[in-house]
Amino acid sequence: MIGFKNYIKISDKRYSEYYGLDFEQFAVGQKFQHRPGLTISQQDNKEEALDTINNAQLHYDAHYANQTEWKNNLGVSTLTIQKLIGMTWKTFGKRYRVLSYDDISMTHPVFGGDTLYSTTEIIKTDNYAEDQNLGILTLVTFGINQRQEVVAKIVYQILVYKKGKHPLETDAIPVTDEKFNSHRQLADGSFMEESGLYYEDLEVDEIYKHRPARTFTAEENRIHALRSLDWHPQYTDANYAKKFFGNKIPVNQTFLIGIITALTTRTFDRVVANLQWRNIKLPLEVFVGDSVFVESNIISKRESKSRPTQGILEATTNAYNQEGKLVCSFERHFLIYKKDVGPYEAAGY
């Protein structure tokens, strides 16, 4: 079995998410299918055009677009490119930076409602003369829609850290269990990204550190509060925050809980639904500019009585700020798929 892993072992039953392959693990001819995919809406398309000051009305004037051969608002090409490259991050999690985009071809239109997937092939591997800690990968990433039509072809070069040279490299123990595989090999030889552990793979008393961490910005904090109808001045009025919080802007607590829960979903990606949160504690205020580092402990598991394809997990989740201080903790019950069931095969995962 391939040795690509998504985790490292810190100690007995204690693991950390750890994404990306070393330069030496890549070889010419390898193909990687990246998951999850992403459905693009016309709202996404319009906002991308307006936020980037794109004056091409074809992207956001439906009446105009209807007079063209497209008959619909055409997807912004650079939005498609951003999404397709973004989808590759787990396999190329040890990327240092992009060196060049050698060719970008848009081969099929993208419209609101389309779902995009990325597939990447390794074309060439080279040493990087300027830094022996890095290697050069030449890649071609294809964007494919839900109808298996190729919408884009992107040829580019990236720098990737060699084994043991990444700045977050640790002396942690490598994991060997197959449940920690980051990819599975398909019949055609390509590697499909895997995300999330099944019910059977999660054991009581296991602890998982969820990485990467997440930093809060002022704009997202304000927008999430406004769109939740939470118009308290501590989120909407910078002068209020300056007067009563020493110029610090507190992070909206429900937004905070949402982010912390979301950070657990790479390990718990087989989740079907959340059932309950309990004992949510917020011992310290979190402010804009703070980061949260999250870890979860499996405290119980049982078969679902009404859903034979699923089990129920109970986990405690703790979040710490950049100073290592506890800022939030809670217990959560959720449904999670068992092995060899669920929508994965039918959905192309």
pLDDT digits (tens, 9 = 90+) for 152-179: 999 999 999 999 999 988 777 889 999 9
pTM comes to 0.94
pLDDT digits (tens, 9 = 90+) for 66-116: 999 999 999 999 999 999 999 999 999 999 999 999 999 999 999 999 999
Q: Is pLDDT of 297 > 50?
A: yes
**What's the DSSP call for residue 266?**
T
- Preceding peptide of 36 cis, ω within 30°: yes
Q: Which residues, 6 or more positions from 292, have their beta carbon under 8 angstroms from its beta carbon?
A: 213, 214, 216, 256, 259, 260, 263, 286, 319, 320, 321, 327, 328
Q: Which CATH class is domain 199-347?
A: alpha beta
Q: Is pLDDT of 138 > 80?
A: yes
Quick check: do 7-40+75-193 and 199-347 share a fold?
Answer: yes
Q: Residue 183 CB: number of other CB atoms within 10 A?
A: 23
Q: Is pLDDT of 317 > 60?
A: yes
pLDDT digits (tens, 9 = 90+) for 254-296: 999 999 999 999 999 999 999 999 999 999 999 999 999 999 9
| % of the chain at pLDDT higher than 90 | 95
The CA distance from 253 to 264, in Å, is 17
The CA distance from 105 to 337, in Å, is 39
Quick one: pLDDT at residue 2?
60
Query: Do residues 134 and 192 touch, judged by C-beta distance below 8 A?
Result: no
The CA distance from 32 to 98, in Å, is 18
C-alpha distances out from residue 117 to 19, 53, 269, Å: 19, 26, 18
Q: What is the mean pLDDT of the chain?
A: 96
Q: Is pLDDT of 246 > 50?
A: yes
Quick one: pLDDT at residue 1?
46
Give mean pLDDT, residues 37-61: 97
Give mean pLDDT, residues 37-45: 98
The residues spanned by each domain of the chain are 7-40+75-193, 199-347
Write the CATH number of the domain with boundaries 7-40+75-193.
3.10.129.10
Quick one: pLDDT at residue 247?
86
Give mean pLDDT, residues 228-252: 92
Q: Is 239 exposed, middle or buried (0-12, 13-18, 19+ CB in 10 A)?
A: exposed
Quick one: which H or E segment has residue 48?
helix 42-51
